[in-house]
Structure 1
């Protein structure tokens, strides 16, 4: 899925040509992000739609980029305390600016310029109720030439296990940990969650069209959770002739949660 696959609409730029202003969730979120390289869209909205947050809770996004997923979650669930971790200082600054642009008070947003291998930071954060990420997922293969895109898709230093450990370390007991990954990395993602002490995995398949194999999967577990993994209802994104399905529109435009968001 392209990061710009219909979930975002262009709304101008900053005048310098280096960033664009895009709308997510049917215009509920205004996101300024780099014109080239790492751009958020469909995956960020789907990830946010699966996090079972409630008003007043604290949520953590690791690798938050310019803040798309955590801002979409905040638009859907008011009153959250947002914590973002991003190793790219320029993206972290964009995330902070985007939070302010979307009307979030400074005392409800904390941005950390750090790497997910810094477990000391994760343990020092106030305990979070939910943690989530769209982490780099490919351990090898042909990487995009653009450094930002390469860093978003290909593991470099930190692997899936590192991401899961960081997220789990910041969670309260029984807090939820959510990942969105290519379907080809399902086994690796489940192994990373288990190694981080998170169980009771729920799998949501994201199908491009009815009858086609899933390209993306949403995984959710609980810190200290037990019990077998289960496959929840999935989501078909596109009709046979291309437009989004009504169920996908409800998630991408109308801020509905993913099916069986438990």
Structure 2
């Protein structure tokens, strides 16, 4: 994220928003001033999507669309679908796709992944019913905290984005695996202390799993991990060397800066 300016734009009629610049000002993202706010996790998730031109992408829990739009900025001619539960965030995701020039490539679905009926009438690639379609790449930044594991925020938007609701992490990830086509990728960014839970689910449907630690600084333990697997593959798990995000003085490392400001793919800098 580069900069922020106040806007006279609202998510619905009551939520004030700001416009934030990502990828060296290449993307301008409108998001709520308070509550849920996309940042470096969304950029890193978008950078981890290992897609080719013309492939289909699905962002589960899309928020205001930041991760998917970061991926579209880097990879030409892809089609992006996003699923978002909260109407305010879904509306902002559509707005962000439009003002960044990706409206024709983007479909934002307002639905609850725990309720199949909420996808009635929605379509995916090749105009198939959404829950019967397969995507080349599925990626997600699930709520980070289980029920009772974090304080409820003043903002309902932030609470729903950060604390698991009716869909716990295992069910969330199973939904993601189910949406990927055979040999498609599933990519997750989450807290490092949930790695065991993530692997327990993804290993059931994916192989050739890569675990990418994200260290805040060289002398600190990883706080985040990216896990990526290939649906239906039988290859072994790989623990990669990971990514250090900040120097000792707090400045972004050169590698992190290349992702955050230039929109580089994660695999190109590792």
Provide the TM-score with structure 1 as the length reference.
0.91
Match of residue 172 from structure 2: 163
Match of residue 232 from structure 2: 224
Partners of 1:8 and 1:169 lie apart in 2 by 35
CA drift at 1:137: 2.8
**Aligned runs of 1:4-23 on 2, under 5 Å?**
7-14=1-8, 18-23=16-21
Task: Name the CA shift for 1:124/1:165 in 2 (closer, same or farther; >3 Å).
Answer: farther
CA drift at 1:111: 1.2
User: Would you say the 8 A contact 2:86–2:157 is kept in 1?
Assistant: no
> Is the counterpart of residue 115 in structure 1 residue 112 in structure 2?
yes
Partners of 1:119 and 1:137 lie apart in 2 by 23
Alignment partner of 2:183 out of 170, 174, 184: 174
Match of residue 97 from structure 1: 95
User: Would you say the 8 A contact 2:186–2:230 is kept in 1?
Assistant: yes
Partners of 1:87 and 1:114 lie apart in 2 by 5
**Aligned runs of 1:203-242 on 2, under 5 Å?**
203-242=211-250
RMSD: 2.0
Secondary structure of the residue that 1:131 maps to in structure 2? Answer: strand
Q: How many pairs align?
A: 254
CA drift at 1:242: 0.8
Instruction: State the Cα deviation string for residues 136-183 of structure 1 (Å, max 9, x = none).
Output: 132232323232222222211111112112212221101000000111
Structure 2 runs not aligned, ≥5 long: none
User: Would you say the 8 A contact 2:45–2:67 is kept in 1?
Assistant: yes
Secondary structure of the residue that 1:18 maps to in structure 2? Answer: strand
Provide the TM-score with structure 2 as the length reference.
0.88
CA drift at 1:12: 3.5
Runs of at least 4 residues off by over 4 Å: 119-123
User: Would you say the 8 A contact 2:255–2:269 is kept in 1?
Assistant: no
